[in-house]
Amino acid sequence: MGGLYYSGVFSAFILISVFSLPAAKAASSFQLLPGKPLPDGATLVSSGGIFELGFFCPGNSANRYVGIWYHNFSTSTVLWVANRKSPVLDRSGSLAIADDGNLVVLDGQKAVLWSSKVTSLQSNRSTAELFDSGNLMLNNSGVMAWQSFDHPCDTYLPGMKVGLDLITNVNQVFTSWRSEDDPAPGNFSIGIAPDRSTQFFIWEGNKPWWRSGRWNGQVFIGIQNMVPNYIYGFRLNNFQQENKMYFYYSQFNSSHRYVLTPDGVERHLVWANDSKNWYQYWAQPFSTQCEIYNRCGNNATCTDSLDGNSPNCSCLKGFEFVGGNLSGGCVRRTPLLTKSGNTSYR
């Protein structure tokens, strides 16, 4: 996200193969209609042939999930998963429009494993469509009732928004997979800081893991080598008018994506047509230990070691390590004297 502005050259060749497709697939369309469920083995393909939706198995798992991947150039790259918490245990599953108008994933016994959970829909008036943006949209009586872009997983695509509702304070975040074999929500998430400070945070659970620094209208001030007016059109919306604060980047092409990995690294990946593989263009935190948030604790400085392993932590002047722990932060050697005559270590 902040890495949209990194000016370096391609680095770290990456090939990602995360799921297996059925050996044979039924004829595809881009819409799902009431009474016509999509069984395991059939797929939806967006009208321009860019994205595809169907069942897949991640990594070495035998579990089945409904996901969206690239149809035209990288069929082994999953971008979104519906039933990431509730897999189908065999190939008897289906994606369907339920009687109440919701989009559902069913197992072989027709039990609902996942639902779009929209209330007040008109029954038998829903259709679902996969668009060339990679967005799966549920329409009810001609009105959009739900879309996958509002419920992201680990991948950030052009047209998606990551942001904070300034009225409800609900934060729309991206969440890593638990592992390469399990798309269930993992330990890491990324989103806008809830204090409305126009910066991205990666959290490990509820603990800050990395931050981008504030947005100054052109770049994130905490990221080095960021180039203003980047070609992909990364922007902050007019949140004072919309009551929502979100970042987005414009549709350049479908070969760029950002993914939050199970180990808490945000990667900017670019598809190279010549080699038919993904290349890592940017990653954060990645190269040094000091990129990790508060790596040496409070009142301390962090200097990267030459071997790239444990950083060199040191206390600010007038402070000392807590209990000799080099990563536990620092406290004052001499307490401050307050006006009341009491001492304070603040």
331 and 281, same structural domain?
Answer: no
| Those residues with Cβ within 8 angstroms of residue 136's Cβ, 6 or more apart along the chain or in another chain | 53, 68, 80, 103, 128, 129, 130, 147, 148
With bands split at pLDDT 50, 70 and 90, how would you rate the model's confidence at 200?
confident
44 and 23, same structural domain?
Answer: yes
For residue 252, what pLDDT is reported? 57
Among the listed residues 180, 136, 106, the one whose alpha carbon sits nearest the alpha carbon of residue 44? 136
For residue 339, what pLDDT is reported? 61
105 and 193, same structural domain?
Answer: yes
Q: Give me the mean pLDDT over the 249-261 stretch.
A: 78
319 and 236, same structural domain?
Answer: no
123 and 6, same structural domain?
Answer: yes
302 and 190, same structural domain?
Answer: no
Range of the domain at 329: 296-344
Examine the pLDDT at 112 and tell me if it is beyond 90: yes
CATH number, domain at 174?
A: 2.90.10.10
Strands 244-249 and 234-236: antiparallel
Residue 108, both tokens: 């072989």
19 and 38, same structural domain?
Answer: yes
User: CA quadruple 26, 27, 31, 33: dihedral positive or negative?
Assistant: negative
State what percent of residues in the chain have pLDDT above 70: 82
309 and 232, same structural domain?
Answer: no
118 and 165, same structural domain?
Answer: yes
Which one of 16-20, 21-25, 305-309, 337-341 scores highest in mean pLDDT?
305-309
Q: Give me the mean pLDDT over the 171-181 stretch.
A: 94
99 and 19, same structural domain?
Answer: yes
Range in 43-47, 69-73, 171-175, 250-254 the model is least confident about = 250-254
Q: Identify which has the larger pLDDT, 241 or 325.
A: 241
309 and 165, same structural domain?
Answer: no
Examine the pLDDT at 86 and tell me if it is beyond 50: yes
| Those residues with Cβ within 8 angstroms of residue 84's Cβ, 6 or more apart along the chain or in another chain | 65, 153, 177, 183, 184, 185
pLDDT digits (tens, 9 = 90+) for 203-246: 999 999 988 888 887 777 777 666 665 545 667 777 777 888 88
Task: Answer with the one of 264, 287, 310 that is the final residue of a domain.
Answer: 287
Q: Give me the mean pLDDT over the 299-304 stretch.
A: 86
For residue 183, what pLDDT is reported? 98
pLDDT digits (tens, 9 = 90+) for 50-62: 999 999 999 999 9
Q: What does the mean pLDDT of the chain come to?
A: 84
Examine the pLDDT at 171 and tell me if it is beyond 70: yes
Residue 265, both tokens: 């690294």
Are 233 and 14 in contact by the 8 Å Cβ rule? The answer is no
Range in 232-241, 259-268, 271-280, 310-319 the model is least confident about = 232-241
Are 200 and 1 in contact by the 8 Å Cβ rule? The answer is yes
Number of C-beta neighbours around residue 104 at 10 A: 23
With bands split at pLDDT 50, 70 and 90, how would you rate the model's confidence at 11?
very low
Q: How far is CA 306 from CA 285, 289, 296, 300, in A?
A: 17, 11, 17, 19
Number of structural domains (the chain) is: 2
pTM of the model: 0.83
244 and 111, same structural domain?
Answer: yes
As a whole number of angstroms, the distance between CA 202 and CA 147 comes to 24
